[in-house]
Chain A
Amino acid sequence: MNDAAVRDDAKDDTQAGQSWPLQIYKTLKAHGVSQISYVPDAGHSRLIELSHADPAIQTTVLTTEEEGVALSAGAWLGGDRSVLLMQSSGVGNCVNMFSLAASCRLPFLTLVTMRGEWAEFNPWQIPMGKATQQAFEIMGVTVFRLDRPEDAEEMISAACSLAFEGDQQIAVLISQRMLGRKKWTETK
């Protein structure tokens, strides 16, 4: 994606509350992120689209979330900065793979859209949603929580610095309240 395309996207986002995925995308770019992997989630759909549209970012769809933890490790070994996008339900899948980042003190950054907390209609989402923060913390991953769209740029920037310069493992949980209630039919 070129600058003109970025500006067009910005123009579309007339509502401040809707522009946070673009803010995150721009902040990741500013911090030199060149690989993004993901297991899809509706809350991440805009960021996933932006990533796929950007030829300077290698975007990888995963079959399960722990693949992204290992991918990030390999990317860093090769000199790339990588970010994993997932939903809170996938965090438990990653637990053992986090030992790779801990053992090698690897930079690791994941952005997690939350389910199972605010106005959740699906009881099956709630157990992992409630355990998400602890699942990270038992493996030594530092957790930030993004509750307000206007904090997106500053928080993602801080998370990038901690991860890629401070060699830390960082998870940013994007709150379900900020994402809004799940809609059964998505409109473009």
Chain B
Amino acid sequence: MVQNFTLGRREAVKALLADRKDLLVVTGLGSASYDVFDAGEHPGNFYLWGAMGGAGMVGLGLALAQPKRPVAVITGDGEQLMGIGSLLTIATKIPGNLTIVILDNGHFGETGMQVSHSGLGAQLDVIATGAGFRSVTEITDIKGVNDYRPTLQRIDAGPRLARIRIATGHVDRALPPRDGVFLKNRFRENLGFAVT
């Protein structure tokens, strides 16, 4: 069952977020937050440092509140597995502007690289299809990431899920701000809401 994927996570996320325009990004805790920060700090990024399993639902609440802005949730397989039911909840709302990107290395990278359910054979793309996602894409190389990038700008025909199969190799930590109040205020201010 163990498959070897060679796509580097930093390279993949950097390519995904190149020329991001109006894209709003919510990240799942752990490496996904580091990857997005490493790709370029942006006030339209909201990094989760906890709330495991909640990234997709934060993305849904945001996508429903901001239907004219594209929203991407970038998270890991372990984080999404903890909130696997949220894929069903997201699908019922048919948020056209929401894309869930799962950086899937088949492991719990933050806690010692234990093999995850995905690594043991669970097919997150099939689960998303079964949940009712309107678009599901499996990506295994940088060409696939580059081809997918314009899709993140769409505000219709979602929800979409992209499962990006990444390598398990070590990457250095790149730590985004972790003060939640700062991240909240920065994010809202970027959308035009006054900090009161």
Which residues of A come within 8 Å of B, CB atoms?
34-35, 58, 60-64, 66-80, 82, 96-97, 99-100, 103-106
Contacts and interface: CB of A to CB of B under 8 A. Distances in A.
Contact of B54 (A35, A60, A63, A97): A97
Nearest to B46: A77
Main DSSP-derived SS at the B contact region: helix
B50 A77 contact: no
Contact of A96 (B51, B89, B92): B51
Contact of B65 (A63, A70, A79): A79
A78 B191 contact: yes
Counting from the closest, the 10 A-B pairs by CB-CB distance are A74-B61, A78-B65, A70-B54, A63-B85, A104-B180, A70-B57, A75-B61, A103-B180, A80-B65, A74-B58
A52 to B, nearest CB: 12
Contacts of A100: 48, 50-51, 54, 58, 180
Nearest to A59: B93
Q: Which of A63, A96, A99 has the most CB of B within 10 A?
A: A63
Contacts of B55: 70
Interface string B95-108: 00000000000000
A112 B187 CA distance: 30
A60 B93 contact: yes
A105 B56 CA distance: 20
Contacts of A62: 85, 89
Contact of B183 (A34, A75, A104): A104
A96 B79 CA distance: 14
27 contacts: A60-B64, A60-B93, A63-B85, A67-B86, A67-B89, A70-B53, A70-B57, A72-B61, A73-B51, A73-B54, A74-B57, A74-B59, A74-B64, A74-B65, A77-B58, A78-B63, A79-B65, A79-B66, A80-B65, A82-B61, A96-B51, A97-B54, A100-B48, A100-B54, A100-B58, A103-B50, A106-B184
Interface string B38-75: 00000000101111111111111111111000000000
B36 to A, nearest CB: 15
